[in-house]
C-alpha cells in the first residue's frame, strides 16, 4: 500500500534526526499550517495531520498527501554562580552553551476518502526536546567539590576536568520520539464526525557525562544503567480519539483525547529513570474552536492539557531522597526531572489574500513545567520556553498542489534555583554553598511543506 510505504520512509527519516519540541517536549503544532497558527488545529480540517491533532478532522480533509520538513534551532545555556568550593577555597561555578543547535524534523500526513462519509489515513510526527550537548571541561581538574562528589561514585572520573554536573567529558541527553498514527474517521451526519488513531510509538535515548551519580543508583551499579552506555530503544502504543462538529457555517468545535502511551523500558538506563527505566509518553487532551466570519478570515483557538505529572520518570522531584545518596535513582519514587503537568493556549488567524495565497499568524502560550527547585537536574533538559510567535503562508502552485511555509520564534526564558550540590554533599557543604544554578533557552524554527490533492 502506497501510504504504508510512505510512513515507513518517513519513520526512517525521523529516526535519523532529533525531533524537538516547545510545549515541554511536545511540539507547538503538528502540520505546517497549524505551526503557522500557533498550533491551533483541533477545530480545523485543512491537512492530513489529524492523527496528531484531531482524528475526526480527517474525513473533512479529502484525498491528500502532506509532507514537510522543519529546521529547528534551540539555543540552550546552563550556568552556576555564587558557589563555594569544598574547604572554602575557590568555587565550582561554570557557564556553558549546548552545542548541536540545528535539527531537522520531518512530518507526513496521508488521507484517503472512502465515499463521502469515511476516510482512512496515517500521520507520522515526532516529539522530543530533552536534548543537550555541553562540551564538558568547564570546571577545572582537581576541583575539590567535584572530587568529593565523584568520591561517592564507583565510576569516579577524578581529578577531572569536569562538566557542569561534575562528570567526565561531554554532558547531555538526547531523546527522540516518533509516532505513527493510522487513522479512521467517519461522519455521523452532514455536520458531525468522529475518529480514532492508533498511536504506535518508538523512542530512543542516550545520556553522557553523569559519572558523579554512580553512587546514587538503586543497585550501586555505577555506569551500567546510568550513563555513557550508548543509545537505547523503546516501543509502545496508545490511542487518540476525537470529535468535530460544524455548528453552522461560521463556528466549528473540536475535541480530542490521547491516552498515556505505554512504552517498554529503557533497560540501558534503568538506574537513571524512575521505575527502572520507564519513560511513558503522557496522556494529553485538547479542545478547539474555529470561527469563520466570512470567506477570507478564519480565527482559531485551542486549549491543551499535557499530563507530564502522571509519568514518574518525568515528574518525580529531583529532591526526592534529600541528602540520601544510595538508592535515590532508578526506583519507583526516586529522583526525576520534577516536571509538572501544563496547560497550553494556542491562538491563530488565517487570511485568504486571494485565490492562490493564504497568510497566517499565531501565538502559543505554554506553562513552564520546571520549577527552580529542579534547575540543577534540568541542566540536562531545560524545556522552559513559554511564549511562541508564529507566521505562515500557503501558495497554490497548481489547482491540486500547494506549498506551505511556517516560522516560529520562542522567546528566551530562564529558571534559576539553589544548586542541589548543597543537598548532595551535606557533610562537606553548608547551606547555600552550592550557589545558584540557572537554565535558559530560546528557539527558532522554519519549515516547508508540500501538499498534493488527489
Q: Write out pLDDT tens, residues 377-389.
A: 999 999 999 999 9
Residue 345, class by beta-carbon neighbours within 10 Å (0-12 exposed, 13-18 middle, 19+ buried)? middle
Location of C-alpha cell 517536549: 25
Contacts made by residues 325-328, CB under 8 angstroms, sequence distance 24+ = 325/152, 325/215, 325/216, 325/424, 326/215, 326/216, 326/217, 326/220, 327/216, 327/217, 327/218, 328/216
Nearest-angstrom CA–CA distance, 256 and 98: 35
Helices (H), 191-322: 274-277, 312-315
Of residues 3 and 64, more confidence is placed in: 64
- Confidence at 13, pLDDT banded by 50, 70, 90: very low
**Mean pLDDT for the chain?**
92
Judge whether 66 lies within some domain. yes
- For 341, which DSSP code? P
CA 393, 446, 73 angle in degrees (round to 5)? 160
The DSSP string of 184-200 is EEEESSSSEEEEEEEEE
- For 31, which DSSP code? S
**Does position 123 have pLDDT exceeding 50, yes or no?**
yes
Helices (H), 266-401: 274-277, 312-315
**Per-residue pLDDT tens digits for 46-91:** 999 999 999 999 999 999 999 999 999 999 999 999 999 988 888 9
> What is the CATH classification number for the domain harbouring 313?
2.40.160.60
The reported pLDDT for the residue numbered 348 is: 98
Location of C-alpha cell 468522529: 194
**Does position 316 have pLDDT exceeding 90, yes or no?**
yes
**Does position 164 have pLDDT exceeding 90, yes or no?**
yes
Judge whether 449 lies within some domain. no
Of residues 126 and 5, more confidence is placed in: 126
Judge whether 96 lies within some domain. no
The reported pLDDT for the residue numbered 12 is: 47
Judge whether 452 lies within some domain. no
**Does position 157 have pLDDT exceeding 80, yes or no?**
yes
- Confidence at 4, pLDDT banded by 50, 70, 90: very low
Distances in Å between the alpha carbon of 339 and those of 217, 377, 379?
21, 11, 13
The reported pLDDT for the residue numbered 3 is: 46
Cis check for the bond before 161: say yes or no (omega within 30 of 0): yes
The reported pLDDT for the residue numbered 92 is: 94
* Cβ atoms of 298 and 291 closer than 8 Å: yes
**Does position 321 have pLDDT exceeding 60, yes or no?**
yes
**Per-residue pLDDT tens digits for 195-221:** 999 999 999 999 999 998 988 887 655
Judge whether 259 lies within some domain. yes
- Confidence at 416, pLDDT banded by 50, 70, 90: very high
Of residues 111 and 103, more confidence is placed in: 111
- Confidence at 283, pLDDT banded by 50, 70, 90: very high
Backbone angles phi and psi of 354, in degrees to 5:
-155, -165
* Minimum mean pLDDT range among 226-230, 337-341, 345-349: 226-230
Backbone angles phi and psi of 146, in degrees to 5:
-65, -35
346, three cell numbers = 494556542
Judge whether 366 lies within some domain. yes
**What percent of the chain has a predicted confidence (pLDDT) above 70?**
94
The DSSP string of 395-412 is EEEETTEEEEEEEEEEEE
Find the domain containing 82 and state its range.
2-91+105-442
**Per-residue pLDDT tens digits for 229-244:** 999 999 999 999 999 9
- Confidence at 7, pLDDT banded by 50, 70, 90: very low
Judge whether 239 lies within some domain. yes
- Confidence at 156, pLDDT banded by 50, 70, 90: confident
- Confidence at 222, pLDDT banded by 50, 70, 90: low
**Per-residue pLDDT tens digits for 244-260:** 999 999 999 999 999 99
Nearest-angstrom CA–CA distance, 99 and 105: 18
Judge whether 450 lies within some domain. no
Residue 421 in 3-state DSSP?
helix
- For residue 364, which of 33, 38, 31, 27 has the smallest C-alpha distance? 38
Domains in the chain, number: 1
Confidence (pTM): 0.94
Mean pLDDT across the stretch 103-117? 95
CA 203, 209, 214 angle in degrees (round to 5)? 95
Mean pLDDT across the stretch 280-286? 97
The reported pLDDT for the residue numbered 15 is: 47
Beta strands in 164-231 (DSSP E): 172-187, 192-208
**Does position 99 have pLDDT exceeding 80, yes or no?**
yes
Amino acid at each position: 500500500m502506497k501510504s504504508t510505504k510512505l510512513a515507513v520512509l518517513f519513520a526512517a527519516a525521523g529516526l535519523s534526526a532529533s525531533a524537538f519540541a516547545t510545549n515541554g517536549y511536545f511540539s507547538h503544532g503538528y502540520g505546517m499550517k497549524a505551526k503557522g497558527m500557533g498550533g491551533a488545529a483541533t477545530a480545523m480540517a485543512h491537512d492530513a495531520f489529524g492523527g496528531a491533532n484531531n482524528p475526526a478532522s480527517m474525513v473533512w480533509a479529502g484525498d491528500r498527501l502532506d509532507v514537510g520538513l522543519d529546521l529547528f534551532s534551540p539555543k540552550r545555556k546552563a550556568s552556576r554562580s555564587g558557589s563555594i568550593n569544598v574547604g572554602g577555597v575557590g568555587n565550582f561555578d561554570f557557564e556553558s552553551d549546548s552545542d548541536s543547535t540545528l535539527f531537522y524534523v520531518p512530518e507526513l500526513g496521508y488521507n484517503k476518502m472512502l465515499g463521502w462519509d469515511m476516510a482512512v489515513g496515517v500521520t507520522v510526527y515526532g516529539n522530543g526536546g530533552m536534548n543537550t550537548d555541553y562540551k564538558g571541561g568547564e570546571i577545572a581538574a582537581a576541583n575539590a567539590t567535584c572530587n568529593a562528589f565523584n568520591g561517592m561514585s564507583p565510576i569516579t572520573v577524578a581529578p577531572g576536568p569536569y562538566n557542569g554536573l561534575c562528570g567526565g567529558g561531554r554532558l547531555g541527553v538526547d531523546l527522540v520520539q516518533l509516532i505513527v498514527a493510522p487513522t479512521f474517521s467517519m461522519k455521523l451526519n452532514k455536520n458531525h464526525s468522529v475518529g480514532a488513531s492508533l498511536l504506535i510509538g518508538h523512542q530512543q535515548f542516550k545520556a553522557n557525562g553523569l559519572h558523579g551519580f554512580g553512587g546514587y543508583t538503586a543497585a550501586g551499579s555505577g555506569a551500567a544503567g546510568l550513563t555513557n552506555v550508548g543509545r537505547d530503544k523503546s516501543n509502545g502504543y496508545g490511542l487518540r480519539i476525537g470529535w468535530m462538529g460544524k455548528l453552522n457555517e461560521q463556528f466549528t468545535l473540536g475535541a480530542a483525547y490521547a491516552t498515556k502511551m505505554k512504552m517498554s523500558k529503557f533497560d540501558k538506563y534503568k538506574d537513571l529513570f524512575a521505575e527502572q527505566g520507564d519513560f511513558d509518553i503522557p496522556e494529553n487532551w485538547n479542545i478547539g474552536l474555529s470561527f469563520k466570519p466570512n470567506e477570507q478570515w478564519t480565527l482559531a483557538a485551542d486549549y491543551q492539557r499535557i499530563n507530564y505529572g502522571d509519568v514518574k520518570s518525568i515528574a518525580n522531584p529531583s529532591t526526592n531522597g534529600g541528602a540520601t545518596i544510595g538508592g535515590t535513582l532508578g526506583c519507583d519514587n526516586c529522583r526525576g526531572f520534577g516536571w509538572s503537568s501544563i496547560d497550553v493556549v494556542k491562538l491563530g488567524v488565517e487570511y485568504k489574500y486571494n485565490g492562490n495565497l493564504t497568510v497566517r499568524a499565531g501565538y502559543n502560550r505554554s506553562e513552564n513545567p520546571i520549577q527552580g527547585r529542579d534547575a540543577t537536574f534540568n541542566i540536562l533538559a531545560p524545556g522552559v520556553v513559554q511564549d511562541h510567535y508564529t507566521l505562515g503562508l500557503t501558495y497554490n502552485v497548481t489547482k491540486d498542489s500547494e506549498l506551505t511555509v511556517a516560522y516560529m520564534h520562542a522567546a528566551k526564558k530562564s529558571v534559576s534555583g539553589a544548586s542541589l550540590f548543597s543537598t548532595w554533599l551535606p557533610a562537606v557543604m553548608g547551606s547555600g554553598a552550592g550557589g545558584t544554578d540557572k537554565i535558559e533557552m530560546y528557539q527558532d524554527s522554519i519549515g516547508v511543506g508540500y501538499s498534493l490533492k488527489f
